[in-house]
Amino acid sequence: METLEDFDREEECLHDVEAYNALVLQISKVGGKTTMDCVHKALDRLFSNAVMASFNMKGRGQKGKRPFGNTKIYRALQDAVMKFDQTATEDSIRTFTSEHLKHAPQRSGGGGFTPHSH
């Protein structure tokens, strides 16, 4: 998904159980060496950095970010990672997702914040 419009369209589609299950299956096939690796790869496969840079888990903060933690796409990500990785927990997935979203602005195409040099 390259834009927030793409994101909203996908989110809308996921009201359909078959579309939701298809996304879960697609994400679970991404795989990874660890839970963190799996989460990061899945997010990178799903979204451009520009889209990720528009979100954080709760939608709070001064940068006007949207909450990712209560979206169907996040729920699909969580279900997929837990299907792929039996050791994954909701907490670990939330932590890794939060970290990955937080650093999206610094990654290529994230539109980002330039790190301040001290």
The secondary structure of 39-77 as a DSSP string is: HHHHHHHH--HHHHTTEESS--STT-PEE-TTSHHHHHH
Whole-Å CA distances, 59 to 34, 79, 98, 113: 27, 21, 11, 18
- The answer to the question of residue 71 being in a domain is yes
Task: Determine the Cα angle at 105 with ends 81 and 30, to 5°.
Answer: 25
- What does the pLDDT read at residue 112? 60
Domain that holds residue 93: 4-106
- The answer to the question of residue 37 being in a domain is yes
- Domains identified in the chain, total number: 1
- The answer to the question of residue 111 being in a domain is no
- The domain that holds 51 is classified in CATH as 1.10.10
Sequential pLDDT tens for the chain (118 residues): 999 999 999 999 999 999 999 999 999 999 999 999 999 999 999 999 999 999 999 998 777 899 999 999 999 999 999 999 999 999 999 999 999 999 998 888 776 654 443 3
Q: Could you tell me how many residues make up the chain?
A: 118
- What does the pLDDT read at residue 105? 85
Asked if residue 42 lies in contact with residue 82, where contact means CB atoms within 8 angstroms, the answer is no
- What does the pLDDT read at residue 116? 40
- What does the pLDDT read at residue 26? 95
- The answer to the question of residue 20 being in a domain is yes
- The answer to the question of residue 84 being in a domain is yes
The SS3 of residue 67 is: strand
| Global confidence as pTM | 0.89
